[in-house]
Structures are given as structure tokens and as C-alpha cells.
């Protein structure tokens, strides 16, 4: 009790950044990261603390003026009050970055690397292709498909001219 | 400040009133395009094919080509 009263003479802010009395047993240091923090987020429009913590004399008098009628505040004073409470406006915090260029560059780079790996694989890893890929085999396959009349209405055999034994023009 | 107060309510309704008619119209257009670009020509193609289809002739041609397993080629 006595300690907190003594500390209140030092200043409000000083209490939160220095020490905190726990019961009557001693003090526990409260680190900065454990205290309410200020951050600019679109989904949290009113952060837990205001941005400027140590107010200058001008700002202090402005805060006093804010307690009166707001009609007497000029536009610059309103902006100054805003900037005391907030670091970036919504327009500023929502700006896009140029990060997409790095992303696209990275994408192309890794796709290129993968292409090189694939080329190496084709040369040094894979064995020969089956005999069914040879031209003569393929010719016999096509002839058999035409004999069987595969897709004769709109598809494969529809493009073959059976009278003249050639592909339709 | 001289900025106008932004719209605070009715945002979803406004979006739906704008986008839903467009979505419906585009869907109908897509369906009509597919019907008259794909299915109707396909039905016509099948009808024309089978109008001139001689079953026996085609069967004999296929038999001579040797693609059947249960029918021997002619002249065997």
C-alpha cells in the first residue's frame, strides 16, 4: 500500500514499466511483452493502449482541451489527437507492399530448378520407353482402332474417310 | 473534418442486390450456350450418322478387317 502510494508520485507510466507489488511478499518484475501493447490491425480497430505514451507539454495541453467541447478543436488539433492515439491510419496500414514481386521471382526460380532436375532425371535415371511407343507399333494401333470403328460419330473414326482410305480433309 | 461518414450498414445486402442478378444471368447464359453450342449439334450429328448407317455393310467391313473374336473373316 505504502509502496504503491510512493510509486504513484513517480508517475503512472513508471509503475507499469518498473516493478509491481505482489501481495505483501515482495516484488515481481513485469516485462514489457506481458503488458497491453499497441498494434495496427484492421480487425482490431481500438488497441488496448494509445500509441504515444510520454506526452509532451503541447500534447498534454491538447489532451486537456479535448476534455472540453470538441467543436472548439481545429482540424490540425484533431489530427494531432488522432496521431497521439494511433500510429498509422487505416489507409496507411492497409497499403499493399511490393512483396508479390519477390514471390513471383521465387516461384519462377523454383520451377526452373525443378525443370533442371526433371531433365537430369530423364537422361540419367529413367530406362528406355516400352516398344509400344515405336512408329510401326503406333501405326498398327491406329489401323486397328479404325477397323473397330472407334468413336465413328464425332470422334476418332469420324475423321477417317473409309472410301478413299485417308484422313478427311 | 469534411469527409462523409462511410456506409456502416447494409453492406451485404447492397453486394447481393448487385451481384445476384448478374450471377443468375451469367449462369443462364452459360447453360444456354452449352445447350445450343454442344448438346444440340451433338444430337444432330448422331441423328445424321444413323440415318445413313448400313448395319450389315459396316459389320462385314469390320469382320473382314479381323477385329472380331467370335466371328471368322469371310473366306476362311
DSSP state of A159: G
Which of B37, B45, B54 shows the shortest CA–CA distance to A158? Answer: B45
- Contact (CB<8Å) B62/A78: no
- Contact (CB<8Å) B67/A154: no
The pLDDT, as a whole number, for residue B2 is: 72
- Contact (CB<8Å) A154/B61: no
DSSP state of A126: -
- Give the C-alpha separation, B45 to B40, whole Å: 9
| Cα separations in angstroms, A49 against A52, A78, A85, A87 | 9, 18, 8, 11
| A19 CB burial (10 A radius; 0-12, 13-18, 19+) | middle
pTM: 0.58
Q: Which residues of A touch B49 (CB under 8 A)?
A: 152-153, 158
pLDDT digit string (tens) for chain A, length 169 residues: 555 555 555 444 444 444 555 556 778 888 888 889 899 999 988 999 999 888 899 999 999 999 999 888 898 999 999 999 999 999 899 998 999 999 999 999 999 999 999 999 999 999 999 999 999 999 999 999 999 999 999 999 999 999 999 999 8
- Contact (CB<8Å) A147/B1: no
The pLDDT, as a whole number, for residue A15 is: 47
Q: Which top CATH class is A36-94?
A: mainly alpha
- Give the C-alpha separation, B54 to A149, whole Å: 13
Provide Rg for chain A, Cα atoms.
38
Q: Is residue A132 a contact partner of residue A140, using CB atoms and an 8 Å limit?
A: no
Chain A nearest C-alpha distance from B62 (Å): 6
User: Is the pLDDT confidence value at B25 over 60?
Assistant: yes
Q: Is residue B45 a contact partner of residue A153, using CB atoms and an 8 Å limit?
A: yes
Q: Which residues of A touch B45 (CB under 8 A)?
A: 153-154
- Contact (CB<8Å) A154/B42: yes
- Give the C-alpha separation, A48 to A55, whole Å: 17
Chain B nearest C-alpha distance from A148 (Å): 6
pLDDT band at B73 (very low <50, low <70, confident <90, very high): confident
Please list, residue by residue across A130-169, b when 16 or more beta carbons sit within 10 angstroms of its beta carbon and e when fewer do: eeeeeeeeeeeeeeeebbebeebeeeebeebeeeeeeeee
User: Is the pLDDT confidence value at B30 over 90?
Assistant: yes
Using CB atoms, pick whichever of B1, B42, B62 lies closest to residue A75: B1
Amino acid at each position: 500500500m505504502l509502496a504503491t502510494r510512493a510509486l504513484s508520485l513517480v508517475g503512472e507510466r513508471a509503475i507499469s514499466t518498473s516493478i509491481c507489488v505482489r501481495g505483501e511478499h515482495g516484488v515481481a518484475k513485469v516485462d514489457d511483452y506481458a503488458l497491453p501493447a499497441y498494434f495496427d490491425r484492421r480487425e482490431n480497430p481500438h488497441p488496448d493502449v494509445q500509441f504515444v505514451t510520454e506526452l509532451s507539454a503541447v500534447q498534454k495541453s491538447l489532451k486537456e482541451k479535448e476534455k472540453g467541447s470538441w467543436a472548439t478543436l481545429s482540424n490540425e488539433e484533431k489530427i494531432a489527437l488522432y496521431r497521439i492515439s494511433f500510429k498509422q491510419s487505416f489507409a496507411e496500414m492497409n497499403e499493399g507492399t511490393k512483396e508479390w514481386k519477390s514471390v513471383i521471382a521465387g516461384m519462377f526460380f523454383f520451377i526452373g530448378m525443378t525443370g533442371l532436375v526433371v531433365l537430369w532425371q530423364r537422361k540419367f535415371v529413367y530406362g528406355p520407353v516400352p516398344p509400344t511407343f515405336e512408329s510401326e507399333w503406333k501405326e498398327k494401333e491406329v489401323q486397328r482402332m479404325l477397323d473397330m470403328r472407334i468413336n465413328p460419330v464425332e470422334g476418332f473414326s469420324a475423321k477417317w474417310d473409309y472410301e478413299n482410305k485417308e484422313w478427311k480433309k | 473534418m469534411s469527409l462523409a461518414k462511410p456506409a456502416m450498414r447494409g453492406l451485404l445486402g447492397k453486394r447481393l442486390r448487385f451481384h445476384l442478378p448478374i450471377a443468375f444471368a451469367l449462369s443462364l447464359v452459360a447453360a444456354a450456350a452449352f445447350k445450343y453450342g454442344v448438346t444440340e449439334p451433338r444430337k444432330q450429328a448422331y441423328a445424321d450418322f444413323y440415318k445413313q448407317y448400313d448395319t450389315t455393310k459396316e459389320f462385314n467391313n469390320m469382320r473382314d478387317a479381323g477385329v472380331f473374336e467370335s466371328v471368322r473373316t469371310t473366306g476362311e
